[in-house]
Amino acid sequence: MATNKIQLNKFFPVFLTFIIMGFVDIVGVSTGYVQKDFGLSDSMAQFIPSMVFIWFFVFSIPVGVLQDKIGKKKMMNLGIIITILGLLIPFIYYSFAVILIAFVFMGIGNTIVQVAASPLLQEVTPKEKLSSFLSLSQFMKAITSLTGPIIATYMAITYDKWILVFAVYAIISLVNVLWLSATKIDESIKSETPATFASCMKLLTNKFVLAMVIAIFLIVGADVGMNSNIQGFLMKLHGLTLENASYGISVYFTALMISRFVGAILLQFLKPVFFLVTTTVLALVGTLMIMLSATEMMAYIGIFIVGLGAGNLFPLIFSIAINKMPSRSNEISGLLIMAIVGGAVIPPIMGFVSSSFGIMGSLIVLVACFAYMLIIPFTAKSKV
């Protein structure tokens, strides 16, 4: 069983890995700089984020299986080391091809880090506090995601070398891997039987596990779809310019950060399933406010409310899943991280629906994604 009390000397090196998890989000601002540096077309530039995202689908389950054999801490260290290699590669030679290779390493490393992070956190926190600390960890990841572009821009303006942000990340990663390696963590939560690819896939026949995998697929898809369509919502519904509509993205990310910080506090006292239902309803209310908004201010308020509601859904689903079946946490973590590929599927669906039926159609897709979360309380009560 997981520990009954928090041991800070073990908690902090594990918690720091969630900050490293946010490093991969630098791919957003990096794409713009690389496109400018090498005169790339829009389609060529989009190969860069693809080099990151695809590995969640390819490696999540194999990593979960291997993690079951070698242990969570060793798997995490491997993920951080691969991330460091990716961060250092552009300093050897700076070219478009080399940047693609660098982000391949970062994408694979980040996949490993994400698969290992939650089960490893489970080993150093009390079971009843896991949801709270997962929300807090996502809050820290969000801060990393927001500060990355600021650091890159500062490096570009001050030193005319935006890739120096990679050096900052590499130093933090090196400190983390050394700290974690020196920390003794007793991995007491073991699988009942050795995990295999077949056993991992067989878990999808379990209705509870399948429901949670679909939930992660939809919530990540909704999050990416919301983020990438905010400008379009405001421009088409209220006639804002692209520049003014871009403020909506900042409103959304600010709400996500507030949501995760407040969620970490509230989950010290509230049951995860109850909180899941409450925040889902909040996300649905916000989406409906955007759809029915008579003014741009009402739309901004709706965007903020969606962020408040959606901010904790990912860590809540994750904690409910691995707390329900702690002995299968490695396999479940692999399946859930694989489901992050929903972020590559839902937004194109929203785009197709928007082109065919108008902007309201894409908002209805978001409503459907959020509404699905309301079935989780029923599946969480089922026997496994």
DSSP for 68-128, please give it.
HHH-HHHHHHHHHHHHHHHHHHHHH--SHHHHHHHHHHHHHHHHHHHHHHHHHHHHHS-GG
| Mean pLDDT to the nearest integer, 230-249 | 83
pLDDT of residue 191: 66
pLDDT higher than threshold 70 for residue 384: no
Indicate the helix (H) or strand (E) that contains 289.
helix 272-292
11, 74, 87, 183, 287 from 178: Cα distances, Å = 15, 12, 17, 9, 44
Question: CB–CB of 258/308 below 8 Å?
Answer: yes
- Across 64-73, 207-216, 279-288, least confident range: 64-73
pLDDT higher than threshold 70 for residue 30: yes
**What is the pLDDT confidence band of residue 343, given thresholds at 50, 70 and 90?**
confident
**What is the pLDDT confidence band of residue 42, given thresholds at 50, 70 and 90?**
low
pLDDT of residue 2: 47
Percent above pLDDT 70 for the chain: 96
- For 66, what's the count of Cα atoms within 13 Å in the CB-facing half-sphere? 14
pLDDT of residue 299: 95
User: Regarding predicted confidence, which is higher, 143 or 108?
Assistant: 108
pLDDT of residue 104: 92
**What is the pLDDT confidence band of residue 349, given thresholds at 50, 70 and 90?**
confident
User: Regarding predicted confidence, which is higher, 4 or 224?
Assistant: 224
pLDDT higher than threshold 90 for residue 301: yes
Residues ≥6 apart with Cβ < 8 Å to 259: 279, 307, 308, 309, 310, 311, 312
| Mean pLDDT to the nearest integer, 37-66 | 82
